[in-house]
């Protein structure tokens, strides 16, 4: 039996249709480059018919995006990408169809964003220790939302100031796990995050599973099992931030385990290398899309 809430409004409009859909993207409310309204305009211009805004650990941009989407005739699902920890890795869970006004949502993300700022200050201290000064202040100056500081802002500051030759080098040399300026955070647990999403009327989706690097292949399978056992409903079968080989593998996982399937560009900026909104691969026809079972708000 499929999990979630069957919603006739979505099903009647979108069931079985050949639509361009993107359920994972970011605005400047987190680490994207465009305002929520400008992002929705880009989505509309690209021919996307159903979208979700999924900023990192905040839903502050959802209302503006929803109003803009309504004015442009774009279907809109409120969302968020939540940071969690599992198996010694940071895992991202997308919540789709959540009510941003639901009890506990605002307080939950305020707490997470405090952790982001503490991490940012510690990252700055580590850069100071290796002779790269002003990183925290510089990264913060690039964040349009000062309450949602990201490693992306550090990467752009490093690139702008000539410390790296490209964006990815900032992560490879300094910011990703095991590098000198990486700072671990005690993110909310997986069960807590899934519970938050469900309590707010949404569905839980593992974001870009093809990106997670575990020391053993079986560990990714264990993540899927744990997520399913905790009530998770879907995985991003197609993502702009994972390989096409990963897409094919994850389609097989969805078939075998009964997950609903989602697709998202994970778009942040024209400066990035990820596909423009709506141009990422869409899910195979034999999989059941997550949007058939979402609450429409």
Domains annotated for the chain, with CATH where assigned, are 8-105+191-293 (3.20.20.140), 110-175 (1.10.150.650)
Question: What is the DSSP code string of 106-156?
Answer: HHHHHHHHHHHHHHHHHHHHHHHHTT--SHHHHHHHH-SSTTS--HHHHHH
| pLDDT value at residue 10 | 47
Residue 54: Cβ-neighbour burial (10 angstroms; 0-12, 13-18, 19+): buried
Handedness of CA 155, 156, 161, 164 (dihedral sign): positive
- In this structure, of 1-15, 25-39, 80-94, 174-188, the range with the lowest mean pLDDT score is 1-15
pLDDT at 260 over 50: yes
* pLDDT tens track for 192-213: 999 999 999 999 999 999 999 8
For the chain, the first-to-last Cα distance in angstroms comes to: 24
- In this structure, of 10-19, 49-58, 105-114, the range with the lowest mean pLDDT score is 10-19
* pLDDT tens track for 10-48: 444 444 457 899 999 999 999 999 999 999 999 999 999
- pLDDT confidence band for 271 (50 / 70 / 90): confident
pLDDT at 1 over 60: no
| pLDDT value at residue 297 | 43
Residue, of 218 and 42, whose pLDDT is higher: 42
Residue 231: Cβ-neighbour burial (10 angstroms; 0-12, 13-18, 19+): middle
| pLDDT value at residue 177 | 85
Mean pLDDT for all residues in the chain: 92
The closest alpha carbon to 57, from 78, 34, 83, belongs to: 83
| pLDDT value at residue 11 | 44
- pLDDT confidence band for 295 (50 / 70 / 90): low
């Amino acid at each position: 039996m499929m999990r979630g809430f069957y919603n006739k409004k979505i099903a009647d409009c979108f069931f079985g249709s050949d639509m361009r859909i993107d359920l994972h993207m970011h605005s400047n409310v987190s680490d994207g480059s465009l305002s929520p309204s400008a992002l929705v305009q880009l989505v509309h211009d690209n021919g996307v018919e159903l979208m979700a805004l999924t900023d990192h650990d905040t839903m502050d941009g959802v209302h503006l995006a929803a109003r803009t989407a309504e004015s442009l005739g774009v279907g809109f699902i409120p969302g968020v990408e939540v940071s969690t920890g599992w198996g010694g890795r940071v895992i991202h869970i997308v919540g789709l169809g959540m009510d941003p006004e639901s009890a506990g949502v605002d307080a939950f993300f305020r707490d997470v964003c405090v952790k982001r700022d503490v991490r940012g200050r510690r990252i700055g201290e580590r850069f100071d220790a290796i002779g790269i000064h002003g990183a925290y202040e510089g990264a913060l100056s690039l964040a349009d939302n000062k309450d949602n500081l990201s490693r992306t802002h550090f990467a752009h500051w490093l690139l702008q100031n000539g410390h790296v030759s490209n964006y990815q080098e900032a992560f490879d040399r300094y910011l990703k796990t095991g590098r000198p300026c990486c700072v671990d955070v005690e993110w909310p647990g997986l069960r807590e995050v899934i519970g938050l999403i469900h309590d707010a009327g949404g569905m839980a989706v593992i974001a870009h599973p093809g990106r997670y690097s575990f020391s053993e292949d079986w560990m990714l399978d264990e993540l899927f099992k744990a997520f399913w056992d905790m009530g998770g409903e879907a995985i991003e079968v197609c993502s702009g931030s994972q390989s096409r080989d990963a897409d094919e593998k994850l389609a097989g996982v969805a078939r075998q385990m009964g997950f609903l399937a989602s697709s998202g560009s994970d778009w942040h900026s024209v400066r990035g290398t990820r596909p423009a909104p709506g141009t990422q691969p869409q899910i195979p026809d034999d999989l059941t899309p997550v949007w058939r079972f979402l609450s429409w708000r």
